[in-house]
Amino acid sequence: MERTKAIVKFFSQEPIENVMVMMKYMPERVIFLGHKDNMITKQIRDIEQFRDHKYPDMELEFIEVPKDDLDNIIGTLAGIIREYPGIRFALTGGSEMLLIALGCISARMEVSKLRIDPFTGKEIDVRGSKVITSDYHFNISIAEDIMLHGGLLTKETGSISEWKFTDQFREDIRIMWDLCRRYRGDWNKHCGVIDELRKNTPNQREGWSELYINQLGDAIRLLRDLYEIGMLKDYEEHGKKVMFRFKNNQIKKIIAKAGNMLELHVYEVATREGYLFSDAVIGAHIDWDGEVHDTMNPGYDTMNEIDVILMKQVCPIFISCKSGKAGGSALHELETVSRKFGGKYARKALVLARACDNTTGTMFFKQRARDMHIWIIDDVFRMSDEQLLNKLKRI
């Protein structure tokens, strides 16, 4: 099958709309038409970076046309048609003036036009009086989505740097989640006590933790239960002290940051059946502008961390997990990050371990989330894995 020579794409402010024809048809050249106020240099660079990553031999051309000169736009379109007979026009995201100009030309000659819906992958192809619809399975990775929106998924991302999801670790997550559910609100408190004492107890043997039982208080129960389920090894209580080693570093990290447990549970349930989501990451560290400005002082870069990101073809789902209380700032952070790195095709959810109460403040919080199109999934402690998965699939 001969490769498509060129396609004209009306430039969109939604990054994913600009690359749908690139992914489906992989033409030799894509000609972007847009206006000065929306075809900004940073977005052009992001598209070029995406092209370099996926289609390095594809040529891109960016043509700026005036926003208020219909004749000029018609002349530009006519020139492209003369240079590329039979060229197709991808309309998704185009401005009204560009669409009017193409309509004027279509009244005089047959022009092939197409529109692709990123949500469904459905294409409507109009050739003269003939309308053809077709479906296509589009996929991009989360790293590619972040790149396309001008950011960078850094090497600090948990899926890359911390968590290795072997079959054994997945089983450990399930076992530890069952224990976490038993402790509920005490889980965070006990993990915090254990981690704080571990950090502040000197002269510990290599790989061992030695803590004073009286300082642990009720948290000693959690240590005993962790040993019972096999997450601690070489566990000993001698006099005033308890000594133990963690099963591995991943278990140690879960106890060191209690909130990790809910994030891992959500990720493990979502990815257990690999076909449900096209990509997934946990502990996503996103550099806001995709450029590391100072490797010696990473604090100079604007960074965001999202607990879990799932991908449905080209639509990202940003998930924030809270094992304790969540305030309005959690909603605003989720909204800001999802708008920046997913645009109107992003979906977002706030997952809460505990149930929301019926106080006035909570009702206001939930209404605010609805206004921001943020799903609230609460009371996960009481949910079966199947119930949680069904809610994740509905986002």
Query: Is residue 145 one of the residues assigned to a domain?
Result: no
What mean pLDDT comes out for the span 146-172?
89
What mean pLDDT comes out for the span 95-109?
88
Q: What is the per-residue pLDDT across 327-382, written as a single tens digit (0 to 9) for each?
A: 778 899 999 999 999 999 999 999 999 988 778 778 888 889 899 999 999 999 99
Question: Given a cut of 70, is residue 294 above it in pLDDT?
Answer: no
Judge if 384 and 347 occupy the same domain. Answer: yes
Using a 10 angstrom Cβ sphere, with 0-12 exposed, 13-18 middle and 19 or more buried, the burial of residue 133 is exposed
Judge if 179 and 158 occupy the same domain. Answer: no
Task: Determine the Cα–Cα distance for residues 59 and 134; give it in Å rounded to an integer.
Answer: 26
- Contact in structure between 104 and 77 (CB atoms under 8 Å): no
Q: What is the per-residue pLDDT across 184-195, written as a single tens digit (0 to 9) for each?
A: 889 999 999 999
Query: Is residue 261 one of the residues assigned to a domain?
Result: no
Judge if 371 and 282 occupy the same domain. Answer: yes
**Confidence band, pLDDT 50/70/90 cuts, at residue 92:** confident
What is the pLDDT, as a whole number, of residue 293? 59
**Confidence band, pLDDT 50/70/90 cuts, at residue 292:** low
- % of the chain beyond a pLDDT of 90: 64
Beta bridge partners of 310: 280, 317
Mean pLDDT highest for which of 98-102, 118-122, 179-183, 275-279? 179-183
Q: Which domain holds residue 303?
A: 152-163+273-394
33: Cβ contacts below 8 Å, ≥ 6 apart: 8, 9, 10, 11, 63, 65, 76, 77, 94, 98
Please provide the average confidence, as pLDDT, over all residues in the chain: 90
Q: What is the per-residue pLDDT across 249-266, written as a single tens digit (0 to 9) for each?
A: 999 999 999 889 999 999
Judge if 288 and 302 occupy the same domain. Answer: yes
CA 120-280-56 angle, to 5 degrees, is 70
CA 324-325-329 angle, to 5 degrees, is 125
What is the pLDDT, as a whole number, of residue 286? 93
Question: Given a cut of 70, is residue 204 above it in pLDDT?
Answer: no
**Confidence band, pLDDT 50/70/90 cuts, at residue 326:** confident
Least confident of 166-180, 235-249, 260-274, 359-373: 359-373
Judge if 106 and 175 occupy the same domain. Answer: no
What is the pLDDT, as a whole number, of residue 133? 86
Query: Is residue 268 one of the residues assigned to a domain?
Result: no
Query: Is residue 146 one of the residues assigned to a domain?
Result: no
Token pair belonging to 105: 């030309």
What is the pLDDT, as a whole number, of residue 299? 54
Q: What is the per-residue pLDDT across 29-79, written as a single tens digit (0 to 9) for each?
A: 999 999 988 888 889 999 999 999 999 999 999 999 998 899 999 999 999
Beta bridge partners of 135: 122
Judge if 350 and 289 occupy the same domain. Answer: yes
Pairing of strands 374-377, 347-352: parallel
End-to-end CA distance of the chain: 38
What is the pLDDT, as a whole number, of residue 136? 83
Question: Given a cut of 90, is residue 273 above it in pLDDT?
Answer: no
Tell me, what CATH number does 235's domain have? 1.10.10
CA 121-144-333 angle, to 5 degrees, is 95
Query: Is residue 117 one of the residues assigned to a domain?
Result: yes
Query: Is residue 183 one of the residues assigned to a domain?
Result: yes
Q: What is the largest CA-CA distance in the chain?
A: 94
> Which string of DSSP letters, residue by residue, matches 38-82?
TS-HHHHHHHHHHHHHH-TT-EEEEEE--SS-HHHHHHHHHHHHH
What is the pLDDT, as a whole number, of residue 107? 85
Judge if 248 and 339 occupy the same domain. Answer: no
Judge if 247 and 383 occupy the same domain. Answer: no
Tell me, what CATH number does 318's domain have? 3.40.1350.10
What domain count does the chain have? 3
Token pair belonging to 198: 């571990």
Residue burial 103-112, b: 16+ Cβ < 10 Å; e: rest: eebbeeeebe
**Confidence band, pLDDT 50/70/90 cuts, at residue 296:** low
Judge if 279 and 379 occupy the same domain. Answer: yes
Q: Report how far apart, in Å, the C-alpha atoms of 80 and of each of 75, 190, 322 are.
A: 9, 68, 53
Judge if 30 and 130 occupy the same domain. Answer: yes
- Contact in structure between 314 and 118 (CB atoms under 8 Å): yes
Picking from 361, 358, 351, 360, the residue whose alpha carbon sits closest to that of residue 381 is 351
Q: Look up residue 60 and give its amino acid.
A: L
Question: Given a cut of 80, is residue 159 above it in pLDDT?
Answer: no
Task: Determine the Cα–Cα distance for residues 5 and 28; give it in Å rounded to an integer.
Answer: 5
Judge if 347 and 225 occupy the same domain. Answer: no
**Three-class SS state of 18:** helix
**Confidence band, pLDDT 50/70/90 cuts, at residue 106:** confident
What mean pLDDT comes out for the span 309-322?
95
Query: Is residue 262 one of the residues assigned to a domain?
Result: no
Sign of CA dihedral 131, 137, 142, 147: negative
Tell me, what CATH number does 117's domain have? 3.40.50.10770
Question: Is the pTM here over 0.85, yes or no?
Answer: yes
What is the pLDDT, as a whole number, of residue 388? 97
Task: Determine the Cα–Cα distance for residues 181 and 190; give it in Å rounded to an integer.
Answer: 13
Query: Is residue 267 one of the residues assigned to a domain?
Result: no
Q: Which H or E element spans position 90?
A: strand 88-90
Residue burial 193-228, b: 16+ Cβ < 10 Å; e: rest: bbbebbeeeeeeeeeebbbeeeebeebbebbeebbe
Backbone angles phi and psi of 248, in degrees to 5: -165, 175
Judge if 12 and 67 occupy the same domain. Answer: yes
Question: Given a cut of 70, is residue 274 above it in pLDDT?
Answer: yes
